[in-house]
Structure 1
Amino acid sequence: MNILIRNASIWTGDPSRPRAEAVMVEGGKISAVGGLDEIMSHPASAKAEWIDAGGATVIPGMTDSHMHLTALSRQRSAMSLFQATSKEDLLGMIRAKAEKIAPDEWIYGVRFDNSRWADTTLPTIAELDGLGIPNPVLLLRVCAHIHVVNSRALREAGLSVEDLSGAGVVRDEKGCFTGTLHESFAHPVVEAMKRKTMSGPGEAQSLRETMMQLVSEGITSIHACSAESYGLEENIEACRFLHGRGKLPLRVTLYADHTIPEWIRNGEGDEWLRYGGRKFFLDGSLGGRTAAMTFPYADDPSTKGMLNMDTEDFCAKVRREHEMGNQVQVHAIGDAAIDQFIQAVEGVMDLPLLSRGLRHRIVHAQICRPDQMEKLKKLEAVCDIQPVFVSSDIHITEPRIGKERLGWAYA
């Protein structure tokens, strides 16, 4: 099907000709852009459907460079706690939910933001157990780096409080488990929840619905980030199911922190569904105080956050991926994590450049020192920045890092 869009202000992306008034689309691809007379003389215009844009601005489809697609789809059916105005409000929402569902059904609550509450303390396992509900409860903070569980959820995962250990298991001053699990330490509980609620190709329809919503907003290509270590892996089986039936409505480039069957090198796959490269998570989030800093947090001097990987091990893995021709995509929010990324990229400078102009990517780079900015520029690293952090973190940045370091942050 051919489409001719006219009477439009078309942004071309070409500095020599930034605007045009008409565009020809053939078989779903832009084949010509220019003045109306120019496009009307195009051979395909005779059989094209004409659309009068009424002077509206027209742009090419957008690419979202950082998305957890499957998690987004699942959160659409999860219990949103974003509107909770306090811990008491959140607990009341959970109690009300339990009254409407079966006693064995999981309550999966997402997107709560305790930083906006007067009392910013997280809910505890004691408070969740104190609701007197039989359901397993798993809560995910808005940053996606902190989970809170109740005792039933632990039992469903085959765990007890005594089984838990490690830096991501939060305990109070008496050594009692608070119910909070940082980073990948929540993985066993997340997996237990998913076994009961989510799996395989059966998710394909909900994934397609989520993709169609993105397409309706002008997003025609995404870089999906599969984070198996966080329980946020992409459902590749469902994506392949859709693709095989011609029902994939946008292009998906996958980055993963785990092995993908049949894909080991950048670009494997096709135009619609392909492998982008390896994903690494070096630290956590600013909101959860798990972003790794070189200095103590201003509002909690007992911690500098968490580095998820040993520097030597991370550098070796980046070098191995580079030797295979793969771009890496690296989550790094705190300046200590950014130091690790810089060291790893400096460590591959003796190797040939990646093909097709690819460069290694750092995602977020939220707390970045001036000397690091200069190094990243010199290394020509791709800095993948998320403006959404401005609205979500602007009110917590100064308390977390101190006023004297605000110039290091974009949010």
Structure 2
Amino acid sequence: MIRSLRFSLLALLVLAPAASAADLLVSNVNGYTLDSHGRLQHFQALLVDQGKVVATGTSADLIKRAGGAKVVDGHGKTLLPGLIDAHGHVLELGYARNSVDLSTTKSLDEALAKVKAYAAAHPDATWIRGGGWNQEIWKLGRFPTAQELDAVVSDRPVWLSRIDGHAAWANSAAIKLAGVGKTTREPSGGRIERDAHGNPSGVFVDGAVDLVNAVVPALTQQDRIEALDTALAEMASVGLTGISDAGIDLENYQLYRQYADAHKLTARIYAMIRDTGEAFDAISKDGPLISYGNDFLTVRAVKLFADGALGSRGAAMLKPYSDDPHNSGLLFLPPAVMTSKIEKAFGKGYQVGIHAIGDHANREVLDSFAAAYKTHPEAVALRNRVEHAQIVSMQDIPRFVSLHLIASMQPTHATSDMNMAEDRIGHERIKGAYAWQSFLKQGTVIAAGSDFPVESPDPFYGLYSAVTREDHQGQPPGGWYPQQDLSLTEALRAFTLDAAYAEHAEKTLGTLEPGKWADFILIDHDVMKDPSSKIWNTKVLQTWVGGKQVYVARD
């Protein structure tokens, strides 16, 4: 009898659920996450231990399992997985914020006033640097000139990058220091804008930017540290817990390693090495760096460039621009060179992501991947990516499936470009532009990002653009080519689970499933139920990475 009783008690103990180890309970929330299949799940509480998710469920159930865990009351606010930007530029964001920032200017006069004010406030700066200008927003109908900059700063060189990073604007002092004149030849993959007499007029496009960059003072280590600190703080404030940094150099890599070692990264960095030159050789000598520092740093990808940008007409098109019939844009590399770079990265086991905006560039990239797979068939498994995939010939879109490519796309590019995109490429080619549903319906994974600081790093701007294809004033009503809209669940997946997939990290990031890192945010309203017009104005209240709070909004 006693033996039987002991056996029964032992059986009950085996069957009873054990108390979960946990050190954090976030309760009383309106929680949403996708599961590993992309299905939306709802919950009231999140249980965390040692930075990873233990469970989601009702507050009543998880309180019973929490033991002595720290309890955070969510006060009914909406909780989402941390958002991941699949394509941005971290240090460039910091540099933009720490220099002349023209990204919000609405006119040339406003931009010039900002440059003048910055120069006056920094009398010891040997160069006035910054960027973010966009002549399309200014309704200028042309590029700005050196003479216009001279009118506000003539005693020092001024060098300002365009919003897309594919052109830059100089004053006469900068052009003189660079030694660029009427007889200067244009470099391969670049263009010098000239006046009626053939003299440089002030704007340098794509490869020609290097003519001036060659005389710009190098950034210091302190510049880099300040830029990284500035960028990390802003990213946390908008709910970004991860970023694919699309193009780093050796100094950037070393700084990331230092921050990871010192536990100073507040977002997970998936870094792409810019090109396959000396920096790649140095960084890759020991192979890809995977999940370094508790998954805060991964370096297992290479970033290549096929062309320029649409706004500066540097995107390589199969036929001339509709609004510039003598210009088809700029291809940066011959096909054989592009293929060899891909093969070099594949040979070291690195994923490849290639910037391609125009339909000609996209076709070249597809052809080069196809050629590289012939010598490296195993590289199909690397989840290679086309960065932007912005304007793709309708006949080339299906090739993304056969080549197993991820479309790394930026929803805000559509709503920023809609004021000029169709003028640039016409009614027919626009059918393959910003074509999110066309890619999604054929089974292509879309990893969503912003390309910050080209666009705002705020991922809710991206979610809004993906769902509405309207600007923040609701124009055009119903959206620009709305047949390419994403549902909010599809857009959320592109900024979480599929952005993680593009980083080989879907088993540890992207959703709040047990065993994954507890990267999450609390926001001020229910984006899943409120009108879509409210999405872009979402405020992040708290950001948590690995179960640790890295941002809290001030009251």
TM-score in same-fold range (> 0.5): yes
Larger radius of gyration: 2
Cα distance in 1, alignment partners of residues 154 and 54 from structure 2: 60
Match for residue 184 of structure 2?
164
CA contact (8 A) 1:225 1:234 kept: no
Match for residue 303 of structure 1?
327
Letter in 2 for 1:257: R
252 and 201 in structure 1: CA distance in 2 versus 1, 3 angstrom threshold: farther
Matches within 5 A, 1:240-251: 240-251=257-268
More off after superposition, 276-285 vs 183-192: 183-192
Match for residue 373 of structure 1?
397
304 and 380 in structure 1: CA distance in 2 versus 1, 3 angstrom threshold: same
Residue 252 (1) aligns with residue 274 (2): no
Residue 200 (1) aligns with residue 225 (2): no
Match for residue 470 of structure 2?
none
Matches within 5 A, 1:70-219: 70-102=91-123, 105-131=126-152, 133-157=154-178, 159-161=179-181, 164-166=184-186, 167-190=190-213, 192-195=215-218, 198-200=219-221, 203-219=224-240
Cα distance in 2, alignment partners of residues 8 and 131 from structure 1: 53
CA contact (8 A) 1:68 1:234 kept: no
The percentage of aligned residue pairs carrying the same residue is 27
Cα distance in 1, alignment partners of residues 224 and 97 from structure 2: 12
1:3 to partner: Cα distance: 1.3
Matches within 5 A, 1:255-274: 255-258=272-275, 259-260=279-280, 261-264=282-285, 265-268=287-290, 270=292, 271-274=295-298
Letter in 1 for 2:377: P
Cα distance in 2, alignment partners of residues 117 and 200 from structure 1: 35
CA contact (8 A) 1:338 1:365 kept: yes
Cα distance in 1, alignment partners of residues 131 and 207 from structure 2: 16
Per-residue deviation, residues 188-221 of structure 1 (Å, max 9, x unmatched): 53354342xx312553244123212212322111
User: Match for 1:316 among 322, 340, 343?
Assistant: 340
Cα distance in 2, alignment partners of residues 109 and 250 from structure 1: 25
234 and 331 in structure 1: CA distance in 2 versus 1, 3 angstrom threshold: farther
SS of structure 1 residue aligned to 2:165: coil
Per-residue deviation, residues 117-171 of structure 1 (Å, max 9, x unmatched): 23221121233335462021011111111101123223445x3425732142222
1:370 to partner: Cα distance: 1.3
Gaps of 5+ in 1: none
SS of structure 1 residue aligned to 2:318: coil
User: Match for 2:366 among 342, 359, 365?
Assistant: 342
4+ long deviations beyond 4 Å: none
Match for residue 275 of structure 1?
299
CA contact (8 A) 2:290 2:299 kept: yes
Cα distance in 2, alignment partners of residues 280 and 133 from structure 1: 36
Cα distance in 2, alignment partners of residues 132 and 307 from structure 1: 34
More off after superposition, 14-23 vs 391-400: 14-23
- Number of residues paired by the alignment? 401
SS of structure 2 residue aligned to 1:58: strand
Cα distance in 2, alignment partners of residues 239 and 407 from structure 1: 40
Cα distance in 2, alignment partners of residues 313 and 353 from structure 1: 21
Cα distance in 1, alignment partners of residues 229 and 195 from structure 2: 43
Cα distance in 1, alignment partners of residues 379 and 31 from structure 2: 34
Matches within 5 A, 1:382-401: 382-401=406-425
334 and 149 in structure 1: CA distance in 2 versus 1, 3 angstrom threshold: same
Match for residue 404 of structure 1?
428
Cα distance in 2, alignment partners of residues 90 and 17 from structure 1: 44
Match for residue 48 of structure 1?
69
Match for residue 455 of structure 2?
none
CA contact (8 A) 1:70 1:234 kept: no
Cα distance in 2, alignment partners of residues 275 and 199 from structure 1: 23
Match for residue 458 of structure 2?
none
More off after superposition, 328-337 vs 171-180: 171-180
The alignment's TM-score, normalised by the length of structure 2, stands at 0.67
38 and 74 in structure 1: CA distance in 2 versus 1, 3 angstrom threshold: same
1:11 to partner: Cα distance: 2.3
CA contact (8 A) 2:32 2:80 kept: yes
Aligned CA RMSD, in angstroms, stands at 2.5
83 and 272 in structure 1: CA distance in 2 versus 1, 3 angstrom threshold: closer
Match for residue 23 of structure 1?
46
Match for residue 358 of structure 1?
382
